[in-house]
Structure 1
């Protein structure tokens, strides 16, 4: 558990055996990168070869606790088990495939792990085993054996991917127009637009003017830049007074719209809130060291995530903001926090805080919900 002890052991081991393959656990990731380069250079110098020598297999790999825990946690959230193989960004698991029907083309899969018996009740494989006489499945067969065993099922590695709904990515960090204004403000603006149209229609009926001209005059009255209708008809004067009154009501609505839009743009660079109707996502509790790595891995797999964090200065909030992941700030043990993360429509919960009791309480409460 001590970085210094691990570094001393690695340096000593490299000195005693330059061709040794080293794997270190270091908490400090930046220091680990420098140590990795240093030990690789020491191996090359001690062996009398340059870096990247083809005949030298003395690699150095530095991992942290998060490097080893995050892939298993992310895979468990995806497939419900940590018994998977992960390589080059892929998540693979072993599945059993039945032999193809006559006329179908067999899918070779990524890798065949075993050839099954031809029939489930005949472990010797009487049908289609071609007289092999083997008992039970044949593990790790070669390509020729797989091609010749046409009547037998196989156990293959299958890629696992997320097929549920995905979070909207947005465009360039600009919030959509509907999110700029609240529902109440949008109804206010719609009501004012309706009043303007009604006044324009009334003016057209009273004066007999063209609809476009009547709308233009109504807007002039609305903004108070038209001449008073001293010698006009009574209906025209009433309409002008109503237009001026509505113009007074328009000013606070426009001011509220500007302030609300500025607040929305300001919060666009901050933390996002879970969108309405979100479902099938993963709720991630805790954005510490391991939680941040798990979040990054889940987003690489294109899995929608909603994070819950009680510390507004947590190290993972910057990553969540960069990945545009919704975050709920609050204590998960308090009522309403998990509800804000849409836990009732989530597919998985990852409780990764540093407190065991917090993880336990959050898990029990989420199960009850």
Structure 2
């Protein structure tokens, strides 16, 4: 096949399949989700078989076909049999290209399910109204909160109703937890983690013990009875540190960023000063202001009248000072030191006018040139974000909205995130030189965390190592695609968090492609839990099922139920496990990727 698809034969006759358009990391993860967890036929449309993740996609088992076209054209859509497909995901290309392709796909197949990646979320919401059966998602918006929260060492949360769900570990778990979401946690071997384990209630052992006494059963001693409730085979001893657990907890408000208000005020004042002045102008202003304050103090000390001193100083600053006249006696200014002070104030007042003019010229000229701000000498306790792509831009915006000082770092001067970050007034370092020098200019020594979210795993790891060489205790958050690579990083580096944008976003895209609503994703180290809401509508397959039918140890846990008669009330840990769902009910579940896929298949078959 050529890159333009000339002479490319269409895919062999196929129907009820799903189409993924793209060859990037998100497309790779999404294809994995569909073929491994949902077990549906997938046809992949890539722009180039030899680049990016396309070669790895082509090697995946379960992919029905891989077709190469440089763009999603009418011819490309016909080649992948869009007219017989059940769904199509557009996860590469610009917003405009994805919108055009979505409308074209709908024209070929009015009933097709469409999921398109959109960076502009407001535009995406409007586009959804044009699509009969479509959803617009942002992969960067889905993943950015996890990176920002990891940088601040606070739990990532998902809002459900009036509560915010988050993951707590070990000693941070409160008594009012909703459920245990992971156990057997060993930070040196993350493969031991067990998600959504089956948790027996406190009465389970007593129920088993009571069974020993029923209908003439043998009566045993207390020690024998206790041994009867234990496993027949002793469990394999867990290594040290492998007994950690993680639990899902609900808060009434989103976890706050603990930054003292005095510190926030100081950041705001320094940022405002740096915005309006350059370093040289700040030196001039500070020197002149110090001289004025000192001279004012001299006048006040010698005169003793604060009001008169203040009045005289204002006149001197305005250039309206009246010198002594010979023979005026006591009506003059006074002694030599008072005269010197007035002269100093007058000359400092004269300098303020041209300095103010220079500030205005500099601000206006910088705005016309579109120049970005650079971090100043007063930058402290900030987060350094390496890479201003889609994810980096979202992370910077979120940290800025939280009131946390942040500095962007980008090697490509043409990166579109630079203008977005500059519009927020965030300092940016743009340089294609050595990464160590870029981090130095970003004032790494005074930072609180480094978030490396460029598109290359090696670059992100390099940023982490360079940061650790300067600050061994700095908090590091990495964007890594390769799971094995991330596991080695976890085992080697302390105080480090690893996230994968595609790993966080792909489950939400896959669920949307299947018509399921995912409220958000929560990270348990490199594992992902989905918080989804399932409506018991006619034809959904949920009607008549109970909580017992839905729950699957290791896959699905029911968190809350919204009854049709009280749609605004979430019944957390709904106690009635035997009540069948009625039309209009909604169920909130925590689920793994495979658990949601199994649930989707079961509900489809049941409907």
TM-score normalised by the shorter chain: which range applies?
Answer: 0.5 to 0.7
Deviation at 1:365, TM superposition (A): 1.1
Residue 205 of structure 2 is matched in structure 1 by 126
Residue 140 of structure 1 is matched in structure 2 by none
Cα distance in 2, alignment partners of residues 127 and 343 from structure 1: 58
Deviation at 1:189, TM superposition (A): 1.9
2:149 maps to which of 74, 78, 81? 78
Deviation at 1:317, TM superposition (A): 1.4
Secondary structure at 1:27's aligned position in 2?
coil
Cα distance in 2, alignment partners of residues 304 and 319 from structure 1: 16
Q: Is the CA contact (8 Å cut-off) linking 1:192 and 1:250 kept in structure 2?
A: yes
For residues 44-77 of structure 1, give each alpha carbon's deviation from its aligned partner in whole angstroms, at most 9, with x where no partner exists: 3xx6xxxxxxxxxx32112379954674465256
1:365 maps to which of 445, 466, 479? 466
For residues 75-101 of structure 1, give each alpha carbon's deviation from its aligned partner in whole angstroms, at most 9, with x where no partner exists: 2563489xx99799x996666799x99
- Structure 1 residues 293 and 118, CA gap change in structure 2 (3 angstroms): same
1:182 maps to which of 257, 282, 294? 282
Taking structure 2 as the reference length, the TM-score comes to 0.40
Q: Is the CA contact (8 Å cut-off) linking 2:177 and 2:247 kept in structure 1?
A: no
Q: Is the CA contact (8 Å cut-off) linking 2:411 and 2:433 kept in structure 1?
A: yes
Deviation at 1:43, TM superposition (A): 2.9
Cα distance in 2, alignment partners of residues 332 and 91 from structure 1: 42
Q: Is the CA contact (8 Å cut-off) linking 2:410 and 2:431 kept in structure 1?
A: yes
Larger Rg: 1
Instruction: Show the 5 A alignment for 1:31-70.
Output: 31-44=97-110, 58-63=112-117, 67-68=138-139
Deviation at 1:316, TM superposition (A): 0.7
- Structure 1 residues 191 and 301, CA gap change in structure 2 (3 angstroms): closer
Residue 483 of structure 2 is matched in structure 1 by none
Residue 333 of structure 1 is matched in structure 2 by 434
Taking structure 1 as the reference length, the TM-score comes to 0.60
Residue 486 of structure 2 is matched in structure 1 by none
Secondary structure at 1:284's aligned position in 2?
strand
- Structure 1 residues 189 and 301, CA gap change in structure 2 (3 angstroms): closer
Secondary structure at 2:351's aligned position in 1?
helix
Secondary structure at 2:90's aligned position in 1?
strand
- Structure 1 residues 331 and 128, CA gap change in structure 2 (3 angstroms): farther
Secondary structure at 1:307's aligned position in 2?
strand
Secondary structure at 2:109's aligned position in 1?
helix
- Unaligned runs of at least 5 residues, structure 1: 48-57, 137-152
Deviation at 1:366, TM superposition (A): 0.9
For residues 273-298 of structure 1, give each alpha carbon's deviation from its aligned partner in whole angstroms, at most 9, with x where no partner exists: 3684643x542112235533554566
- Structure 1 residues 125 and 250, CA gap change in structure 2 (3 angstroms): same
Deviation at 1:32, TM superposition (A): 0.2
Cα distance in 2, alignment partners of residues 237 and 155 from structure 1: 76
Residue 356 of structure 2 is matched in structure 1 by 258
Secondary structure at 1:349's aligned position in 2?
strand
Cα distance in 1, alignment partners of residues 207 and 445 from structure 2: 50
Q: Is the CA contact (8 Å cut-off) linking 1:290 and 1:352 kept in structure 2?
A: yes
Deviation at 1:226, TM superposition (A): 3.3
